[in-house]
């Protein structure tokens, strides 16, 4: 692999050799939202929730993986658009760093013991996610939330544990245009 340079724009990442865009539409992640009736009412439209531009294939010889996420603005039944969220698999765990590029977001974190933290993911913010903390991002603004993330390439992802727990301890709801954290009654360890 040779040295290379990118800029923090979706176009730069999409055009990099080996880049792959992973598109998540509502139908693929419908079970992460709490308002099932609202999910069904949007099903025909099936909006794009987020795009992850994954450079892993272009970094096959590297010990690092990274990518750019573009999370669309919007809400389902008052719950802001968000990513699926995952733990890193226990046997292939690793830290992850986020850098906010544009838009207004929240990073939701939960530990294996069920503790939770929430942080602002805004332009210029650098957020450190230690291993053993699951992570999910939420767009609480009116424009796309764009952020960069980087982690060890040996890391594997565990989405099933998030499903088994009923999501994250907190949900981020739109209340009169303002993001409000509310406890998630479905959450269990």
Q: How many residues touch Fe ion (CB under 5 A)?
A: 1
Query: Distance between CA 149 and CA 126 in Å, rounded?
Result: 10
Pick between residue 8 and residue 131 the one whose CB is nearest to Fe ion: 131
Q: How far is the CB of 133 from Fe ion (least distance, A)?
A: 10
Residues near 16 by beta carbon (within 8 Å), at least 6 away in sequence: 4, 6, 55, 58
> Quick one: which segment of 8-16, 94-102, 115-123, 159-167 binds Fe ion (CB under 5 A)?
94-102
**Closer residue to Fe ion in complex, CB, 39/69:** 69
**Least separation in angstroms between CB 127 and Fe ion:** 12
Of all residues in the shown chain, the one whose CB is closest to Fe ion is 96
Is residue 85 a contact partner of residue 118, using CB atoms and an 8 Å limit? no
Q: Closer CB to Fe ion, residue 51 or residue 96?
A: 96
Number of C-alpha atoms within 13 angstroms, CB side, residue 87? 21
How many other C-beta atoms can be found within 10 angstroms of the C-beta atom of residue 67?
21
Binding site for Fe ion (CB under 5 A): 96
């Amino acid at each position: 692999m040779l040295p290379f340079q990118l800029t923090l724009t979706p176009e730069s990442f999409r055009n990099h050799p080996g880049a792959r865009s992973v598109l998540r539409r509502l139908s693929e992640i419908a079970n992460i939202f709490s308002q099932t009736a609202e999910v069904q009412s949007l099903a025909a439209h099936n909006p794009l929730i987020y795009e992850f531009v994954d450079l892993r294939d272009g970094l096959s010889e590297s010990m690092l993986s990274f990518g750019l996420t573009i999370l669309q603005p919007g809400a389902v039944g008052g719950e802001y658009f968000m990513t699926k969220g995952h733990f890193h698999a226990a046997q292939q765990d690793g830290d992850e760093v986020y850098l906010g590029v544009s838009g207004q977001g929240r990073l939701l974190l939960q530990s294996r013991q069920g503790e939770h933290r929430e942080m602002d993911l805004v332009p210029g913010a650098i957020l450190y996610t230690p291993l053993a903390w699951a992570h999910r991002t939420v767009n609480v603004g009116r424009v796309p939330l764009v952020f960069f993330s980087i982690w060890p390439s040996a890391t594997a992802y565990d989405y099933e544990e998030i499903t088994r727990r009923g999501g994250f301890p907190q949900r981020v709801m739109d209340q009169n245009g303002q993001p409000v954290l509310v406890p998630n009654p479905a959450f269990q360890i």
